[in-house]
Amino acid sequence: MNTFRKFYIENKEKFFGYLLRKTGNYHLSADIMQESFTRYLERYKDREESPALLFTIGRNLLYDHFRKNRGDTSYEDELHGEGTGQEEAYGIKEEYQGVLRAMEKLDDEERDILSLVVSSNLSYREIAKITGNSEGNIKVKIHRSRTKLKTILRQGQS
């Protein structure tokens, strides 16, 4: 149990960072984080510690969530809920709100890959596996996502 606690403490911030960068939604990220750690604890606590597994669980839970809610809430509505004021309420720095809004303009795969790279400390090999890419492909996609974000951020400034 203390192993899990240590795992939790070491990964909470990174994992929440991934969920928030990917969704831009603080509440949703908190819910998914709780659910992911709970599942990890229930099912995999006896395994060797695996941040990659945790990120995979969280990613799958997010996709499940969006699939289930497709009927009443559009993916885009729920993501990056601009104008809800929640970013301010949770003290997300103003500068970072701009980053989250820029990430919203990436397509789903780019946002997913970039969120993983920036937040997780996982290797390209692990990220390729999680996202179903080849290792050769992932480095090109990562750089393409960063380049696109750079263009978006620059447009936002002008």
Partner 1 sequence: MKDYLISMFVDNELDIDEKIEFVENVHGNKPFKDEAVEFLVQEKLLQGGMAVSLPHVSIPMVAEEKVGRFQSWFLPLAGFATAMVLMVGVYLSNPSPVVSPIETQHRFVIYSPDVSKVEIVGDFTRWSPVAMEKIGDSGYWTAQLSLSGGEHRYSYLVDDGRQVADPTVLTYEHDDFGGINSIIRVAGSL
* Six-digit token string for 157: 């400034």
Asked if 28 is part of the footprint of partner 1 (rule: CB under 8 A), the reply reads: no
Does 37 bind partner 1 (CB under 8 A)? Our answer is: yes
CA angle 105, 110, 114 (to 5 degrees): 105
Tell me the closest approach of the beta carbon of residue 122 to partner 1, in angstroms.
10
Interface with partner 1: number of residues (CB under 8 A): 46
Contact with partner 1 (CB under 8 A) among 16, 51, 82, 131: 16
Tokens 């203390």 -> residue: 2
* Residue closest to 80 by CA, chosen among 53, 108, 55, 54: 108
142 binds partner 1 (CB under 8 A): yes
The secondary element (H helix, E strand) that includes residue 83 is none
C-alpha to C-alpha distance for 39 and 43, rounded to whole angstroms? 6
Query: Measured between alpha carbons, how far is 138 from 118 in angstroms, rounded to an integer?
Result: 14
Binding residues among 44-63 for partner 1 as defined by CB under 8 A:
45
Instruction: Work out whether 21 is an interface residue with partner 1 (CB under 8 A).
Output: yes
Torsion angle defined by CA atoms of residues 75, 76, 79 and 84, in that order, rounded to the nearest 10 degrees: -130
| Binding string, residues 108-127; x marks residues near partner 1 by CB under 8 A | ------x--xx----xx---
**Interface residue list for partner 1 (CB under 8 A):** 1-2, 5-6, 8-10, 12-13, 16-17, 20-21, 26, 29-30, 33-34, 37-38, 41-42, 45, 90-93, 95-96, 99-100, 114, 117-118, 123-124, 139-140, 142-144, 146-147, 149-150, 153
